[in-house]
């Protein structure tokens, strides 16, 4: 089995490359370096927002491996395994009672 790389080390490597590009631009054109720095910082913030951990829509726990999708009250919700078992149990109980 292949070992996964350290993501923090990869991020540090990308930050060092970005810093090198900005330093190189600073020598040629400080205004362009500032614009590039702001663009890179904005991109990193946007990626951090996109890659934030997902949470269960019912209990709020962080979803780690498995998530399940349910349609509750007309809206699609992503739930953790614990809430999924609870919802399945309730659905089964309703079916056994005759749909009430």
In this predicted structure, the answer to whether residue 89 has a pLDDT above a threshold of 90 is yes
* Whether the predicted pLDDT of 18 surpasses 60: yes
Return the bridge partners of 78, or none.
Answer: 69
Residue 70 in tokens: 């349910």
**What are the beta bridge partners of residue 76?**
71
- Name which of 21-30, 33-42, 51-60, 82-91 the model is least confident about: 51-60
Backbone angles phi, psi at 9, to 5 degrees: -65, -40
In 3D space, the residue among 82, 42, 36 whose CA is nearest the CA of residue 59 turns out to be: 82
Question: What average pLDDT does range 38-59 have in this prediction?
Answer: 85
CA atoms within 13 A on the CB side of 81: 3
Buried b (16+ CB within 10 A) or exposed e, 45-81: eeeeeeeeeeebbbeeeebeeebbebeeeeeeebbbe
At 15, the pLDDT band (50, 70, 90 cuts) reads: confident
Only one residue has tokens 């749909």, namely 99
């Amino acid at each position: 089995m292949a070992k996964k790389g350290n993501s923090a080390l990869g991020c540090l490597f990308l930050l060092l490359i970005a810093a090198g590009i900005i330093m190189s631009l600073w020598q040629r054109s400080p205004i362009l370096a500032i614009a590039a720095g702001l663009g890179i910082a904005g991109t990193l913030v946007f990626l951090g927002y996109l890659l934030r951990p997902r949470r269960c829509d019912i209990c709020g726990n962080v979803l780690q491996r498995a998530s399940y999708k349910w349609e509750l009250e007309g809206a699609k919700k992503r739930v953790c395994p614990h809430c999924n078992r609870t919802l399945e149990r309730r659905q089964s109980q309703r079916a056994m009672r005759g749909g009430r």
